[in-house]
Amino acid sequence: MSTTTTAVAQRGISLKGLTKTFGQGSAAVEALKGVDLDIEPGELVVILGPSGSGKTTLINIIGGIESASSGEVTVAGENLGGRNPADLSGFRRDHVGFVFQFFNLIPTLTARENVEVIVELTGKGDKAAIPGLLDEVGLSDRGENFPSQLSGGEQQRVSLARALATAPDILLADEPTGALDLATGRQILQLLQRLNKEGRTIVIVTHNASIAQIANRVVTVVDGRIDSVKRNAKPADAAKVMW
Amino acid sequence: MRATTHKSIRDLLRQRAQVVAVGITIMLGVTLYVGSASAFQNLTVSYAYTYDRLSLADLTSTGGDGDAIAAAALAAGAEEAIARIQVDPPVLIDDTKLVGRVVGLPTNAHPTVNDVEVLTGSYFDPGATGQVLLERHAAETFGLGVGDTVEVFAGGSWHSLTVQGTVGSAEYVWPSRSRQEILADSRSFAILYVPEEAAEDWLGAPNQSAVLLPADASPALEDQVTRAMRAAGAVDVTTQEDQPSNAALHEDLKGFDEISVTLPLLFLSAASVAAYVMLSRRILQERPVIGTLMASGARRGRILRHYLAQGIAIGLIGSVVGTVAGGFLNGAITRAYTSAIGIPDTLVSNHPSILITGMSFGFVVGALGALAPALKASRTAPAEAMRSSSPLHGPGPWGRLVARLGRLPVTTRMALRDIGRSRRRTIATMIGTTLSLIIVLASVGLMTSMTKMLDVQFAEVQREDATVMVDATQSGFPQSLDDLADVTAVEPIVAGPVTAIANGRSYVTSVTGFDLGTAMHGFRTSGGRPIDLPADGVLAGVETASLLDVETGDTIVLATASGEISVTLAGFVDEPFGTLVYGSRSLIAPVLPDTGVDTYLVSFADGVDRDALRQTITQMPGIVSYADSQALVASATAYLGLFWAFVGVFIVLGVILAFALVYVTMAVSVVERTNELATLRAAGVPTRRVAWTIATENLAATALGLPFGLVLGVITAAALNSSFSSDLFRLDLVLGWWPLPAAALGVLVAAALSQWPAARAVRRIDVARIVRERAI
Ligand SMILES: Nc1ncnc2c1ncn2[C@@H]1O[C@H](COP(=O)(O)OP(=O)(O)OP(=O)(O)O)[C@@H](O)[C@H]1O
Ligand SMILES: [Mg+2]
């Protein structure tokens, strides 16, 4: 067990007694009320929960775009406790990639350039690897298209390639299929599953219980607390998921 | 309060910095307008008050029999008319010899036209002959007061007069001897009011008549009186408008008049653009909300008014503050001016019509800026509510073109394409750049042109260091001047007042005769090319062409008190100050009356002690007067003092304008792309680099505006300069090589500095909040 803990501390995610309160006094909202969770390197974890339960807050804290009110947060060997999100861009560029429900692509850049611009601006990753990344997300022949010329699913794949451009240890996806239909959503899930099999740690946030079938572990959050943690002995193939 | 009013207020507060920037631009425009327009109004009113109080003549004749002309004027319908003598004889004050001006006044009562105001001492004792009333400028220059004495050279001998009082006159608010000599060495001119019996005894019969028309005189009556005066023998009749002091002051004010409208308009149009950009962006952002409101049946008119009201609110706040500030500026400008020039009456008031116009400027600017965005909002289709984000637009031809520039870094390509992506914002930035450059270049152009003008006048045209007048009976001149160690050259000239006549028109000016090949005067044509003084024929200032409707080769008549000659107009000279006539000494001398005085132009060795030399020369026997050319530069600087101050203010304002506009467009570009920027931040791109990509785009848009700004700036500068020009002084645009690159650089620097708040905005983007808002 001790070897695993070390590995978690080195490359995985470790949360201890994590709380998050928004606002102050009577307007205070306790979004997270004490979360303990370890995610091991190479795991695919789905965080499931009803709207407003604190899923986004949780994944944002892991990704370093939001700070915890108390508790310990260690991600990829870095202690994020008490650090200001504005000072965490170094951490993000070294360790995490984000995929959001809305793709937020830059409309004036082509698919390839949308990936390239991240490499250029962060100084991380390798431009030569970009064609390979686009190939991996199945867009090798659409690289020169502008976002307005791509479907929603294709745009989400570009944003996936963008998240991978800095070669992150951990991929964080908040409702990655939220804006997509079943078929395109499934393709994205398949991609995430494949990336996980290649060894990446992936955390997906969703309120869609069906998606949970593809995970190694399903963490259910209810009202700011972990309600249950279930291990899937045999994760389902994303291609067969229905909702 | 209604919910929509709440929304308006909160919206404006949320965009605080941009609202403030737009408000400040409006405020500056209104402040400038109210300040300068009111000051102009005040000065005009102040002059009119002085003129009225001291009965400044409406018409003044020179030449002929003054008494006969005055009688003719009265018969033709003038209200008052006086005859008086005015002569410019040598005068000795302390040790200074100068050409003064003696004006005869009655001793038993104040004159009914061209009265004087006693400042110290008292008016003449009835029947006095040995008294003098000294005009205040001379009294100040020489530090004279009641009981001091001055001497006048008249009828071949010096007469001593005792100062009875110092006086102010509406004729000499600005002390100019003639329209040609607005600028003077203050130690070379003095106005002496002398009892008329004494003056006429020494100098001859009245040669002037001064006429006051009824208060409600029509142009027809003025014309009738003028004709009667001419018919009675007047050589020339000058209107109050053309009276030298009044013309000089109005010339000086003309700038105010222009600037009080042009410059505020530039600011206000810039403010309108800024308001437009700001509100357009918000409406774009609020489209889903507007769509939802429309879908639930909101009225178009209501939406329209909601956004229009926000623009108007900003406009009104800006204009209220601007009007108040303008009120203060008005008082400050008026007082600074009247005390600098020494204007007797200062009437400061805020003119309701100007205040109302200022206020309505703010209203109109706010409404204009908001109109297009508000109309667009009110036309939002309810279906917009269904789209969670604004639709993606294709890249367009420009985007595709840039896409081919594969060698450039992606960030550069992004900046280049964004210029075409938000055309509205790009154009707004370009307009801001252009307007700033116009203001800066117009002001700098005035400054460099004015400097060049002084340089041309006092280095190229007037090359003498001093003008010396000598009693013609004194022997030994000019050799004794030439013998002085510090004097390098001496040349005789003849000069005097003259009326140039052609095509039934006349123009009162001065004529000077030089030796052919003179080294004391540079004659230059319009292009600045030197030309020689012709052996026969005369050269005249370029304005003569339009004043007399003549061209090179025409014949003009030069008339003086002692006769007239017909001469050929051999060419035009372009000189900054005055519109004068030049000829060879042998051609001009016969037409000028014998004053018993010889005039010499003198040039000095470099680096001489000018005061010591003035002292040495004026103490030589036979010297009648002495005027130092350097003192003219000082006089010019005083005359233009307020002008310099204004130019400085404009340059500063131009830069502020550049800041405000670029800031607004910059802030808008951050807000418009918050999602993209938040995504970049989430990916770990350092704030600095995110801010830099935005800055690159805005600086590129600023740079795109530069050529327009430079071209329009130069055009405006030329127009502004020519609006200052007249027969009194000509101001040609001379920019030199540095102002264009310097102004362009200045605006770019202003743009670069206003990236700082944009960088702060990027830093302040709350990535988590945006991610959550979007992931509803
Ligand atoms: N900035 C904030 N200020 C105050 N309360 C907030 C803020 N952000 C989130 N909350 C609250 O924290 C709680 C958790 O929000 P969170 O976005 O994490 O929920 P979620 O599980 O992601 O919900 P959804 O499935 O709807 O996205 C909610 O009650 C929300 O109202
Ligand atoms: Mg969420």
Kindly state the tokens that stand for A181.
């239909």
CATH label of the domain that carries residue A103: 3.40.50.300
- In a 13 Å sphere around the CA of B25, the CA atoms on its Cβ side amount to 34
Cβ atoms of residues A31 and A87 within 8 Å? no
Mean pLDDT, to the nearest integer, of B536-564?
92
pLDDT of residue B386: 52
Give B245-256 pLDDT, tens digit per residue: 998 888 777 766
Mean pLDDT, to the nearest integer, of A96-115?
86
pLDDT of residue B681: 87
Are the Cβ atoms of A101 and B393 closer than 8 angstroms?
Answer: no
A106 Cβ under 8 Å from any chain B Cβ: yes
Give the integer Cα–Cα distance in Å for B82 and B111. 8
Distance B773 CA to ligand 1 centre (A): 10
**pLDDT reading at B444 higher than 50:** yes
**pLDDT reading at B753 higher than 50:** yes
Helix (H, G, I), strand (E, B) or coil at B476: coil
Q: Which of A100, A108, A118 sits opposite B775 (nearest CB)?
A: A100
Name every chain A residue with its beta carbon within 8 A of the beta carbon of B772.
56, 60
Query: CB of A57 closer than 6 A to ligand 1?
Result: yes
- Among residues B68, B55, B56, which one has the least CA distance to residue B234? B68
Query: CB of B772 closer than 6 A to ligand 1?
Result: yes
Nearest residue of A to residue B391 by CA position?
Answer: A148
**pLDDT reading at B259 higher than 90:** no
Question: Residue with the nearest Cα to atom 16 of ligand 1?
Answer: A54
Query: CB of A125 closer than 6 A to ligand 1?
Result: no
Phi, psi of B102 (to 5 degrees): -105, 125
Give the integer Cα–Cα distance in Å for A226 and B18. 44
Mutate to test the pocket of ligand 1, among A56, A211, A223 (most ligand atoms within 8 A of CB): A56
pLDDT of residue B642: 67
Q: Which of A122-131, B229-238, B756-765 has the lowest mean pLDDT?
A: B756-765
Is position A1 within any domain? no
Please give the mean pLDDT across all residues of chain B: 86
B407 Cβ under 8 Å from any chain A Cβ: no
Which residues 33-52 of A have a C-beta within 8 angstroms of B?
none
pLDDT of residue B551: 94
- Among residues B234, B136, B264, which one has the least CA distance to residue B192? B136
Query: CB of A55 closer than 6 A to ligand 1?
Result: yes
Name every chain A residue with its beta carbon within 8 A of the beta carbon of B389.
102
Mutate to test the pocket of ligand 1, among B767, B770, B772 (most ligand atoms within 8 A of CB): B772
Cβ atoms of residues A34 and A14 within 8 Å? no
Are the Cβ atoms of A118 and B681 closer than 8 angstroms?
Answer: no
**pLDDT reading at B388 higher than 50:** no
pLDDT of residue B339: 78
**pLDDT reading at B680 higher than 80:** yes
For B569: left if phi > 0, alpha if psi spans -120 to 50, otherwise beta; the answer is beta
Are the Cβ atoms of B685 and A118 closer than 8 angstroms?
Answer: yes
Highest mean pLDDT among A117-121, B556-560, B747-751: B556-560
Is position A15 within any domain? no
Percentage above 70 pLDDT, chain B: 95
Give B472-491 pLDDT, tens digit per residue: 888 888 999 999 999 999 99
Q: Which residue has the higher pLDDT, B764 or B541?
A: B541
Helix (H, G, I), strand (E, B) or coil at B307: helix
Is position A5 within any domain? no
**pLDDT reading at B673 higher than 90:** no
pLDDT of residue A2: 40
Residue recorded with tokens 């001064």: B210
**pLDDT reading at B123 higher than 60:** yes
Are the Cβ atoms of A65 and B418 closer than 8 angstroms?
Answer: no
Residue recorded with tokens 């209203």: B363
Question: pTM for the complete prediction?
Answer: 0.72
ipTM for the assembly: 0.83
Give A150-192 pLDDT, tens digit per residue: 888 899 999 999 999 988 989 999 989 888 888 888 989 999 9
Q: Which of A33-37, B95-99, B637-641 has the lowest mean pLDDT?
A: B637-641
Strand extents, DSSP E, B113-190? 116-121, 131-135, 149-154, 157-169
Q: How far is B707 from chain A (nearest CA, A)?
A: 26
Give B702-727 pLDDT, tens digit per residue: 888 999 999 999 998 888 888 777 77
**pLDDT reading at B518 higher than 90:** yes
Residue recorded with tokens 């009186």: B225
Name every chain A residue with its beta carbon within 8 A of the beta carbon of B676.
104-106
- Using CA atoms, how far residue B260 sits from B241, B266, B447, B626, in Å, is 22, 11, 18, 40
Q: Which of B99-108, B115-124, B744-753 has the lowest mean pLDDT?
A: B744-753
Question: Residue with the nearest Cα to atom 30 of ligand 1?
Answer: A52
Mean pLDDT, to the nearest integer, of A213-234?
94
- Among residues B435, B588, B593, which one has the least CA distance to residue B500? B588
Are the Cβ atoms of B417 and A89 closer than 8 angstroms?
Answer: no
Are the Cβ atoms of A108 and B418 closer than 8 angstroms?
Answer: yes
Ligand nearest to the CA of A207: 1
Mutate to test the pocket of ligand 1, among A18, A19, A24, A29 (most ligand atoms within 8 A of CB): A29
Query: CB of A53 closer than 6 A to ligand 1?
Result: yes
Mutate to test the pocket of ligand 1, among A57, A61, A204, A222 (most ligand atoms within 8 A of CB): A57
Give B578-630 pLDDT, tens digit per residue: 889 999 999 999 999 887 889 999 999 998 998 889 888 988 888 888 888 88
Q: Which amino acid is at B55?
A: S
Is position A13 within any domain? no
Question: Residue with the nearest Cα to atom 17 of ligand 1?
Answer: A56
pLDDT of residue B428: 79
Q: Which of A175-179, B86-90, B278-282, B522-526 has the lowest mean pLDDT?
A: B278-282
pLDDT of residue B2: 66
Which residues 644-683 of B have a C-beta within 8 angstroms of A?
675-676, 678-683
Q: Which of B234-243, B271-280, B607-616 has the lowest mean pLDDT?
A: B271-280
Distance B772 CA to ligand 1 centre (A): 8
Give the integer Cα–Cα distance in Å for B513 and B592. 10
Query: CB of A23 closer than 6 A to ligand 1?
Result: yes
Distance B411 CA to ligand 1 centre (A): 34
Q: Which of A87-96, B20-29, B60-69, B296-305 has the lowest mean pLDDT?
A: B296-305
Give B46-62 pLDDT, tens digit per residue: 999 999 999 999 999 99
Number of H helices, E strands in chain A: 7, 10
**pLDDT reading at B775 higher than 70:** no
Q: Which amino acid is at A173?
A: A
Q: How far is A234 from chain B (nearest CA, A)?
A: 30
**pLDDT reading at B577 higher than 70:** yes
**pLDDT reading at B385 higher than 60:** no
Distance A56 CA to ligand 2 centre (A): 4
Query: CB of A156 closer than 6 A to ligand 1?
Result: no
Query: CB of A49 closer than 6 A to ligand 1?
Result: yes
Percentage above 90 pLDDT, chain B: 38
| β-pairing verdict for B505-514 and B581-584 | parallel
A87 Cβ under 8 Å from any chain B Cβ: no
Residue recorded with tokens 């309060």: B1
Phi, psi of A153 (to 5 degrees): -65, -40
* Segments forming the whole domain that contains residue A159: 27-240
B414 Cβ under 8 Å from any chain A Cβ: yes
pLDDT of residue B256: 67
Mean pLDDT, to the nearest integer, of B640-657?
73
Domain count within chain A: 1
What residues pair up with A221 in beta bridges, in sequence order? Answer: A226
Question: Residue with the nearest Cα to atom 3 of ligand 1?
Answer: A22
Helix (H, G, I), strand (E, B) or coil at B586: helix
Name every chain B residue with its beta carbon within 8 A of the beta carbon of A179.
388
Is position A10 within any domain? no
Mean pLDDT, to the nearest integer, of B348-373?
90
Residues B636, B637, B640, B641, CA torsion sign: negative
A59 Cβ under 8 Å from any chain B Cβ: no
Is position A64 within any domain? yes
Q: Which residue has the higher pLDDT, B285 or B161?
A: B161
pLDDT of residue B185: 79
**pLDDT reading at A125 higher than 80:** yes
Cβ atoms of residues B217 and B76 within 8 Å? no
Name every chain A residue with its beta carbon within 8 A of the beta carbon of B679.
98, 100, 104
Helix (H, G, I), strand (E, B) or coil at B174: coil
Nearest residue of B to residue A97 by CA position?
Answer: B683
Q: Domain limits of chain B?
A: 1-35+254-391, 86-204, 422-461+631-776, 475-620
Name every chain B residue with its beta carbon within 8 A of the beta carbon of A165.
683
A205 CA: nearest ligand 1 atom = 22
A224 CA: nearest ligand 1 atom = 14
Question: Residue with the nearest Cα to atom 31 of ligand 1?
Answer: A52
Ligand nearest to the CA of A100: 2
Q: Which of A91, A113, A174 sits opposite B413 (nearest CB)?
A: A113
